[in-house]
Structure 1
Amino acid sequence: MVTSMGPEHDRAIELRAFDETKSGVKGLVDAGIAQVPRIFVQPPDSVACGEDRADIPAMDLGHANAGPTSHDETARNIGLLEEVIEGSRGFFEQETEDKKGFYTGDLTKRVIHNSNMALYNSVAADWRDSICCSVGPEPPRPEELPEACGEMLMEYSKHVMRPGSCMYELLSKAIGLPQNHLKGMECGKGHSIICHYNPPCQPRLTLGVTKHSENDFLTILLQGQIGGLQVLHENRWIAVPPIPGALVINMGDLLQLITNDKFKSVEHRVMANKRGPRVSVACFFDHIPQPSSRLYGPIKELTSTNNPPIYKETTLPNYTAHYISKGVHGTSALPDFKL
């Protein structure tokens, strides 16, 4: 287990020692460490606060898609979201031995539990543990899922498809395309769900999630009721406070690529917090488990002689592989695909 804070330090050895415990950050906390191990310590400029407040746009997707949401339906939705958060928390807080069977660095697995998918090629590790399930277009078999939260995640994935579909329709219309254009490009065909667990931690040393943008088309985030999420807007970090019953929708790199910068991906991070644990559940729209050779580039209807394509075409597996190999360094992989 990694607890050394001495002057001599071999990062690779410490990362390997931490990873091989398969106990994650939760394991460090349970062991009673007194200080944040240095493999998690971020550069000071990465954890600088400077948090501003701003009005975050909100909309009722029930109203946009199928009429106003009733009070009873709102209550049911809030209850479902609370169940998802508690079910996810249950996975991370069960006995360590029950989780180890899912712990892996093999990104081809349908269910992956680990601490930092980019553990070995990041500037500093995030103070988090995660479990990721590929749930579409083909769901995993029941025996592949963790007992603590698998059934709940599959049920949630069915519900989250509705706001995802609605958003694709609204975004298509917003850029002057037919309502079903983005769905016709199979931007919502594949999706995965990832749950993050951020134990309480000393702030301003590490981050719950490092600054990044997503390597997908669209992300729908359920962030629970403990704050910490911030988005970067005009070089300022803006807090996104939790709202009961609300979901946060982020646009990803691939949506920016295919719309030729009509929509911009959202860089964000999660601050470490003395409160907690913080549990969040994100649904990513793009992850297709089987190999796909379909090319995605700027939509032809959005380009012209005066507005030429900005990005080159790429496949989802190619973009994802490049995104992972680049590591989490607080810089987007998208500029590497510019023409």
Structure 2
Amino acid sequence: MANLVSTWSKTTQILPENYIFPVDERPGSVEVPLCQNIPLIDLSQSQSQTVQEILDACQEFGFFQVINHGVSEDLIDDTMKVVKEFFNMPDEEKEKLCSIDPTNSRKFPTKSCKLYTSGSNYANEEIHFWRDNLRHPCYPLDEWVHSWPEKPTNYREIVGKYSIEVRELSLRMLELIREGLGLKPGNFGEELTGGQLLSINHYPRCPDPGLTLGLPKHADPNLITVLSQGSVYGLQIFKDDQWLGVEPLPHAFVVNIGHQLQIISNGKLRSAEHRAVTNSTKDRTTIVSFINPCQDTIIEPAKPMIGNIVPRFRPFKFKDFLKIYAEKKGDAEAITKVYKIQP
């Protein structure tokens, strides 16, 4: 249990060596500017305008923020409150879910509800991330909710409602993307969207944020991600060979494209690399919903995206992709090389 950053970091003033990233990976002392161009999309506007704005955002950034999305602001606040309560519970309560077992890593994202520190393979990591992470599957809800934390006592009720509404928002985003790509209705059916994983990240205050990371540079392995980043800044995206900060906006969601959607679109959409930085004055908690294909689903470029050209990616099973993703440690370029069809 002593491995949890949130447990021991409260009394440390020096960053342990096994949390210090190599010079070319660490944030350093140079301030990263907030990006003023990341699209902010109002979902209450006309559908045709929304579709075009989302498509443009997915092609240029792979990221966008949404407002007027239909998820209750009170529910967003209540969910953030209850997950923060979870991380503030006594150690003996959190210990019931704590694990450093690598068999419950991203290779097997639907095994159970677990609390990790750093990545999910702590025992075999050379450098640890400055974060604790609670993750659990949440779709179908009635199959998984019994494995969620029993405390706080309202966790299951509130987070259950949240996971349902965020899943509906995710499917709505996919439908708008489908329309923008010109794919047939129903293209993003149960095989492509049958998995949903909730990942709750807690990044405690850090004595030296310039040397470490909450999460290193990576692109998401799934289909689409919806993030509630709260009020504390920490998300950065990598674009045009530079890091750009994503400003937290009250009750907005950050939506980003995963590897699977990039491949299904035959590379038309972009799966953007991003990272999480820490700070020395505030804890940061984020709630991430990943929509995943079912494990045995075959992923390949959609036929309308190919036309008369050669597809850019070869077919594969999603479960096999997750193994490669873990082996390559989320390195987007290395992963893409495995599946890209060379000219």
Kindly indicate whether the alpha-carbon contact (under 8 Å) linking 1:127 and 1:208 is maintained by their aligned counterparts in 2.
yes
Q: Which residue of 2 aligns with 1:119?
A: 122
- Taking structure 1 as the reference length, the TM-score comes to 0.83
- Give runs of aligned pairs for residues 195-234 of structure 1, distance below 5 A: 195-201=200-206, 202-234=208-240
Deviations 1:170-225 (Å, cap 9, x if unpaired)? 111111223432x2363222111000000001210101111111000100000010
Kindly indicate whether the alpha-carbon contact (under 8 Å) linking 1:123 and 1:328 is maintained by their aligned counterparts in 2.
no
Kindly indicate whether the alpha-carbon contact (under 8 Å) linking 1:196 and 1:281 is maintained by their aligned counterparts in 2.
yes
Q: Distance in 1 between matches of 2:46 and 2:227?
A: 19
Displacement after TM superposition at 1:264 (Å): 1.0
Q: Which residue of 2 aligns with 1:93?
A: 88
In the alignment of these two chains, the number of paired residues is 307
Question: Does 2:306 align with 1:299?
Answer: no
Q: Which residue of 1 aligns with 2:316?
A: 314
Q: Which residue of 1 aligns with 2:12?
A: 33
Displacement after TM superposition at 1:279 (Å): 0.2
Kindly indicate whether the alpha-carbon contact (under 8 Å) linking 1:195 and 1:282 is maintained by their aligned counterparts in 2.
yes
SS of 2:41's equivalent?
Answer: coil
- Give runs of aligned pairs for residues 1-339 of structure 1, distance below 5 A: 21=1, 23-30=3-10, 32-48=11-27, 49=30, 51-52=32-33, 53-63=35-45, 77-104=72-99, 105=101, 106-107=103-104, 108=108, 109-115=111-117, 116-120=119-123, 122=125, 124-137=127-140, 139-147=142-150, 148=152, 149-181=155-187, 183-184=188-189, 186-201=191-206, 202-286=208-292, 288=294, 292-305=295-308, 307-328=309-330, 333-339=335-341
Structure 1: any 5+ residue segments left out of the alignment? 1-20
- Taking structure 2 as the reference length, the TM-score comes to 0.82
Q: Distance in 2 between matches of 1:124 and 1:23?
A: 13
Q: Which residue of 1 aligns with 2:59?
A: none
Q: Distance in 2 between matches of 1:329 and 1:259?
A: 20
Displacement after TM superposition at 1:328 (Å): 4.7
Displacement after TM superposition at 1:331 (Å): 5.3
Deviations 1:298-335 (Å, cap 9, x if unpaired)? 11121133x21111111111111221222256755232
Deviations 1:116-135 (Å, cap 9, x if unpaired)? 21435555211000000101
SS of 1:249's equivalent?
Answer: strand
Are residues 280 and 315 of structure 1, via their aligned partners in 2, closer, same or farther at CA, if it must alter by over 3 Å? same
Kindly indicate whether the alpha-carbon contact (under 8 Å) linking 1:122 and 1:329 is maintained by their aligned counterparts in 2.
no
SS of 2:325's equivalent?
Answer: helix
Kindly indicate whether the alpha-carbon contact (under 8 Å) linking 2:218 and 2:330 is maintained by their aligned counterparts in 1.
yes
Q: Which residue of 2 aligns with 1:5?
A: none
Are residues 177 and 169 of structure 1, via their aligned partners in 2, closer, same or farther at CA, if it must alter by over 3 Å? same
SS of 2:214's equivalent?
Answer: strand
Letter aligned with residue 320 of structure 1: L
Kindly indicate whether the alpha-carbon contact (under 8 Å) linking 1:128 and 1:196 is maintained by their aligned counterparts in 2.
yes
Displacement after TM superposition at 1:79 (Å): 2.1
Displacement after TM superposition at 1:233 (Å): 1.2
Q: Distance in 1 between matches of 2:293 and 2:121?
A: 17
Kindly indicate whether the alpha-carbon contact (under 8 Å) linking 2:191 and 2:297 is maintained by their aligned counterparts in 1.
no
Q: Distance in 2 between matches of 1:187 and 1:268?
A: 23
Letter aligned with residue 149 of structure 2: P
Displacement after TM superposition at 1:24 (Å): 0.8
Displacement after TM superposition at 1:85 (Å): 1.2
Q: Distance in 1 between matches of 2:71 and 2:181?
A: 33
Letter aligned with residue 213 of structure 1: A
Deviations 1:96-144 (Å, cap 9, x if unpaired)? 1111111122425320110121435555211000000101135444441
Are residues 157 and 62 of structure 1, via their aligned partners in 2, closer, same or farther at CA, if it must alter by over 3 Å? farther
Deviations 1:208-263 (Å, cap 9, x if unpaired)? 11111100010000001000101111112111110001000010011111111011
Q: Distance in 1 between matches of 2:247 and 2:263?
A: 28
Q: Distance in 2 between matches of 1:296 and 1:74?
A: 28
